[in-house]
A = this chain, B = another copy of it.
């Protein structure tokens, strides 16, 4: 049966129309989009998707976590579902492709299957997961769907509890409702995601498709270096307890540690908040936003220890106090080997080149690790740019990715 599907393709023009319409929602004027979770632009994009689903004759569904889905049934009411998807939320001043491509492609796969009246042995579902990027919590919708959301994640979210509550109110969600989004065991036959690489490896190697072998683990901390507020003119340099010095020294040292001892890992200090934060007062307190990632669990624990030890040493060196607040994280996730093989077969069927790689970015796929087989592919990012307005993937690469997603859905759904 697979043989007969090998010539089927998504409707690239229709998918392009959808992609362009979506890219205008929250457009920042410099080629990017700002659709942080439950912002006005994000809510508009969610409404757009609902209309797009309904106009396609697909069934619309929203669960308690605010995940929006298109559903395509099959003859067997009890058949499991193959879930395809990604997310519509973006980082502030992000790009048009991150998440959006995967949602649009998943929808296009369902539209293609539907209009070709293909009978599969599984249900298909194209999903937009809530708050993947972590403006509020991170992987919120996918973790809730997988039944893995920890109540603590809503109590002390990395974007702050107030912003979470305000956002939930805007989207009409409740905490109890979010936990009700959990799917029953065995209802999912697999989760498949198309995403942009957000790195330079495919472009450098000249390959069409990246087959993801694992997603890195990620942890975030708020490290508060605490000194003393003093007059910045009349206090001698040697008498100061300057919180900015500890934060700065840690920032430089963390990078050194990773580049020297953990070449497969990355670390980011994305923000420092200075208090009181004025020209003429020695900084009392600097809150450092720390995030780091590793593809390997053992190495991850070692890196965690090294960074926290480094923060302690730098605080001590400048006679500062240090408060360490763990904000959450995810373990590294291996992709299903069967899914990896199926993706490679689909690439071979369509004559597309492919390479295996680790995802340095987190993705909703990892929430479903262990719940159902998960698989993920990347398409090349021009110059590796992402989380920025200059994020770009050539349209032919986007279409290639959507066609691979179609092929694997057909293969798995008819197998």
By a beta-carbon cutoff of 8 Å, the part of chain A in contact with chain B is 91-93, 133-135, 158, 197-200, 216, 218, 220, 228-239, 242, 244-245, 247-249, 251-252, 255, 258-259, 266-272, 274, 276-284, 289-291, 293, 359-362, 384-388
Contacts of A280 in B (CB 8 A): 91, 133-134, 268, 270, 291, 387
Given A230-B385, A282-B268, A235–B199 Cβ distance below 8 Å? yes
Complex copy number for this chain? 2
30 residue pairs A–B, Cβ–Cβ below 8 Å? A91-B281, A93-B276, A134-B279, A198-B234, A199-B231, A199-B234, A199-B235, A199-B236, A218-B233, A220-B279, A229-B387, A230-B384, A230-B385, A231-B386, A233-B362, A234-B359, A234-B386, A235-B360, A238-B259, A242-B255, A244-B269, A245-B252, A252-B252, A270-B274, A270-B278, A272-B272, A277-B289, A279-B290, A280-B387, A284-B388
**How far apart sit A278 and B290, CA to CA, in the bound complex (Å)?**
10
Contacts of A271 in B (CB 8 A): 274, 277-279, 283
Cβ of B388 and Cβ of A239 under 8 Å apart? no
Cβ of A259 and Cβ of B237 under 8 Å apart? yes
Given A271-B274, A274-B272, A278-B270, A234–B384 Cβ distance below 8 Å? yes
Contacts of A251 in B (CB 8 A): 244-245, 248
Contacts of A278 in B (CB 8 A): 91-92, 135, 270-271, 289
Contacts of A293 in B (CB 8 A): 233
Cβ of A266 and Cβ of B199 under 8 Å apart? no
Cβ of B279 and Cβ of A232 under 8 Å apart? no
**How far apart sit A184 and B225, CA to CA, in the bound complex (Å)?**
50
Contacts of A233 in B (CB 8 A): 198, 216, 218, 266, 293, 359-362
**A149 CB to nearest chain B CB (Å):** 19
**How far apart sit A230 and B198, CA to CA, in the bound complex (Å)?**
9
Cβ of A279 and Cβ of B289 under 8 Å apart? yes
The residue in chain B whose Cβ has the minimal distance to the Cβ of A249 is B252
Contacts of A289 in B (CB 8 A): 277-279
**A251 CB to nearest chain B CB (Å):** 4
**How far apart sit A290 and B232, CA to CA, in the bound complex (Å)?**
11
Contacts of A258 in B (CB 8 A): 237
Partner of A234, one of B220, B235, B272, B361: B361
Cβ of B248 and Cβ of A252 under 8 Å apart? yes
Cβ of B270 and Cβ of A279 under 8 Å apart? yes
The residue in chain B whose Cβ has the minimal distance to the Cβ of A258 is B237
- Interface contacts beyond A199-B236, A237-B267: sample of 19 additional A-B pairs, CB < 8 Å, sorted by A: A91-B278, A92-B278, A133-B280, A200-B236, A220-B279, A229-B388, A230-B387, A231-B387, A234-B359, A235-B384, A237-B259, A238-B259, A244-B269, A244-B270, A268-B280, A269-B283, A270-B282, A281-B387, A281-B388
Q: Which of A133, A268, A284, A290 has the most CB of B within 10 A?
A: A268
The 3 closest A-B pairs by CB, nearest first: A232-B268, A248-B248, A198-B234
**A197 CB to nearest chain B CB (Å):** 7
**A300 CB to nearest chain B CB (Å):** 13
Contacts of A197 in B (CB 8 A): 234
**A384 CB to nearest chain B CB (Å):** 6
Cβ of B388 and Cβ of A228 under 8 Å apart? yes
The residue in chain B whose Cβ has the minimal distance to the Cβ of A270 is B279
Partner of A239, one of B236, B248, B384: B384
